[in-house]
Amino acid sequence: MKKRFTEEQIIGFLKEADSGLPVVELCRKLGFSDASYYKWKAKYGGMDVSEAKRLKALENENSQAQAFTGGCVARQCSSERRRLPKVVSPQQKREAVAVLKANWQLSERRCCGLMNISTSVLRYQARGDNNAALTERITTLAGQRRRFGYRRIHVLLLRRAGWVNVKRVYRLYFKAGLSVRRRLRKRIGMTERLPLLLPEQANYAWSMDFVHDRLADGRRIRCLNIVDDFTKESVAIEVDTSISGLRLGRVLDKVAQERPLPTMIRVDHGPEFTSLALDAWAAGRGVKLAFTQPGKPTQNAYIESFNGRFRDECLNDHLFSTLHEARYRIEAWRAQRTQRRTAQLQRQESPPKTAYQTAKSYIPPRL
């Protein structure tokens, strides 16, 4: 996680948690994991307690002074201007109808006409709320998937609880205050877009790109993402402080032990991808390196889309203390995403379903 919050903001988050806000709800509201919260609490906990005590003492002195000077006057003015409450709510009108019927001996219809209330509203009996279990389940899933909206929460409910109306999930989701704050993207001017063709076979074309992040101590780490363009499957994610061209070749050879290498790999003009080591590796394996034009990330849209989801759901959600923790959490996220996508494609009759079944057995022709 990059340093997106200042020390003052972190102290404010801890104050909200101390005031009674659940940690899961606070993490989902502000977009960080519970592990990050407890690390901040261990680091800034003492500072928060001392400042809170001083602030509370000042507030008590201020409130006592205001109560001493103007409290009596305010209570006297409010008592003088006190009026009888208006009968506007349905429950107040029902009570007024009961008083009219008892004291004035009027009919029910006549009392309803005087109080402007229908007989159906008068005889209405409130039903108990049967959404408590579903709301609790939605809140639990939202705490586990902090960047999931109500549509993706609805998909998880369909898998676990059977049929649930999406409009009901929408109503309970927003009533519980679980809406996710959208992260605004930088607006880019209109440019000419080149078409990006979708491969017809799995393991025919892969895409590679790097994503950068920082550890808690400020050290930079690099994540090498490899994605199959046809199935959108995350083939591998290599995490380290530095990844050279030789390391790229070793990572791809490790992947080749589990599945065939593709015919082409789409990359940008990074120094690792244009190195002689990777070029020699590609020539020796019969793999073509397809380079995008400089400044044209849309020509490698599949990996760019994956990078955005990877940063939003994993990197921005965790504060990594060590390189080992970063590798463990990132690999767990990759395995969970692959499992979730495979289960989704098995329920849908679409071309990628066959691709997933034949991804490890199909050997593409060499160019």
What is the mean pLDDT of the segment spanning 213-222?
A: 91
* Same domain, residue pair 230 and 263: yes
What is the pLDDT at residue 329? 93
Answer whether residue 253 shows pLDDT above 90: yes
Q: Nearest-CA neighbor of 296 among 262, 274, 267?
A: 267
Domain assignment present for residue 94? The answer is: yes
- What is the domain-level CATH number for residue 293? 3.30.420.10
What is the pLDDT at residue 213? 93
- What are the residues facing 290 on neighbouring strands? 266
Q: Nearest-CA neighbor of 37 among 6, 3, 14, 4?
A: 14
Distance between CA atoms of residues 115 and 137, nearest Å: 42
- C-beta separation of 314 from 223 below 8 A: no
Domain assignment present for residue 77? The answer is: no
Answer whether residue 307 shows pLDDT above 80: yes
Q: Return mean pLDDT, the chain.
A: 79
**355/237: higher pLDDT:** 237
Three-state DSSP class for residue 194: coil
Q: Which residues contact 220 (CB under 8 A, 6 or more apart)?
A: 212, 213, 214, 241
What is the mean pLDDT of the segment spanning 94-120?
A: 89
13-71: pLDDT as tens digits: 787 877 878 888 878 887 778 888 788 777 767 665 566 556 556 657 666 655 554 45
**114/83: higher pLDDT:** 114
* Same domain, residue pair 118 and 136: no
* Same domain, residue pair 222 and 314: yes
* Same domain, residue pair 268 and 320: yes
Q: Nearest-CA neighbor of 247 among 301, 299, 289, 210?
A: 210
What is the mean pLDDT of the segment spanning 298-317?
A: 88
Domain assignment present for residue 227? The answer is: yes
**Element (DSSP H or E) covering residue 226:** strand 220-228
Domain count for the chain: 4
The b/e string for 216-245 (b: 16+ C-beta within 10 A; e otherwise) is eeeeebebbbbbbbbbbbbbbbbbeeebeb
Domain assignment present for residue 325? The answer is: yes
Domain assignment present for residue 316? The answer is: yes
Domain assignment present for residue 251? The answer is: yes
DSSP 250: H
At 272, list the tokens: 């690792």
Domain assignment present for residue 33? The answer is: yes
- C-beta separation of 259 from 241 below 8 A: no
Distance between CA atoms of residues 311 and 305, nearest Å: 10
* Same domain, residue pair 294 and 217: yes
Please report, rounded to a whole number, the percentage of residues in the chain having pLDDT higher than 90: 19
What is the pLDDT at residue 238? 93
What is the pLDDT at residue 330? 93
What is the pLDDT at residue 40? 77
* Same domain, residue pair 213 and 314: yes
* Same domain, residue pair 141 and 54: no
* Same domain, residue pair 28 and 166: no
* Same domain, residue pair 50 and 162: no
What is the pLDDT at residue 28? 83
Please report, rounded to a whole number, the percentage of residues in the chain having pLDDT higher than 70: 77
What is the mean pLDDT of the segment spanning 70-80?
A: 51
What is the pLDDT at residue 352? 46
What is the pLDDT at residue 149? 86
* Same domain, residue pair 351 and 218: yes
- What are the residues facing 227 on neighbouring strands? 207, 234
Distance between CA atoms of residues 13 and 26, nearest Å: 8
What is the pLDDT at residue 188? 43
298 confidence band (pLDDT: 50, 70, 90): confident
What is the mean pLDDT of the segment spanning 232-247?
A: 91
Percent of residues in the chain assigned helix, strand, coil, to nearest 5:
55, 10, 35
Distance between CA atoms of residues 178 and 36, nearest Å: 20
Domain assignment present for residue 61? The answer is: yes
What is the pLDDT at residue 46? 63
What is the mean pLDDT of the segment spanning 132-157?
A: 86
* Same domain, residue pair 275 and 346: yes
182-192: pLDDT as tens digits: 766 655 444 34
Domain, as residue range, for 330: 205-358
- What are the residues facing 293 on neighbouring strands? none
Q: Nearest-CA neighbor of 39 among 240, 327, 325?
A: 325
* Same domain, residue pair 210 and 299: yes
Which amino acid appears at position 117 of this protein? I
**44/301: higher pLDDT:** 301
